[in-house]
């Protein structure tokens, strides 16, 4: 695996089997083998762009449980904290204030401020 700071196409690896493998092996396998090994590694979008899109969609959907992982993942893929905070702020006006506030609370916990 290459460092995201030197390569815009860092190989994306899922943690489905680590997180849910014993409890839900099929969902874990689909997460790792389809979502991360295939979709996240398609060359048409960089991992950075995919991360920014994912954070925006999770914020818009109110999916805060997955948001913490993807905020950290986005930073590893080269998105800055300031860009993520700005993206959440922007999405709040389109997806709804409560979802934006909930997402920002998650970001605050993840970033430790």
Range in 2-6, 45-49, 51-55, 100-104 with the lowest mean pLDDT: 2-6
pTM here is: 0.85
Backbone angles phi, psi at 26, to 5 degrees: -70, -45
pLDDT band, residue 6 (cuts 50/70/90)? very low
pLDDT, tens only, 10-40: 676 678 888 888 899 999 999 999 999 999 9
Q: What pLDDT, on a 0 to 100 scale, did the predictor assign at position 99?
A: 98
* DSSP string over the chain: ---TTT-TTPPP---HHHHHTTT-HHHHHHIIIIIITTGGG-TTS-HHHHHHHHHHHHHHHT-HHHHHHHHHHHHHTT--HHHHHHHHHHHHHHH-HHHHHHHHHHHHHHHT-
Domains, the chain, ordered by start: 1-43 (no CATH), 45-113 (1.20.1290.10)
């Amino acid at each position: 695996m290459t460092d995201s700071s030197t390569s815009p196409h860092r190989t994306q690896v899922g943690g489905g089997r680590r997180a849910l493998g014993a409890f839900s092996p099929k969902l874990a396998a689909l997460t790792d083998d389809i979502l991360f090994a295939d979709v996240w590694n398609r060359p048409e979008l960089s991992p950075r762009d995919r991360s920014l899109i994912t954070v925006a969609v999770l914020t818009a959907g109110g999916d805060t449980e997955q948001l913490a992982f993807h905020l950290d993942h986005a930073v590893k893929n080269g998105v800055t904290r300031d860009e993520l905070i700005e993206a959440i702020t922007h999405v709040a006006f389109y997806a709804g204030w409560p979802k934006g506030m909930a997402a920002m609370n998650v970001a605050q916990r993840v970033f430790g401020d």
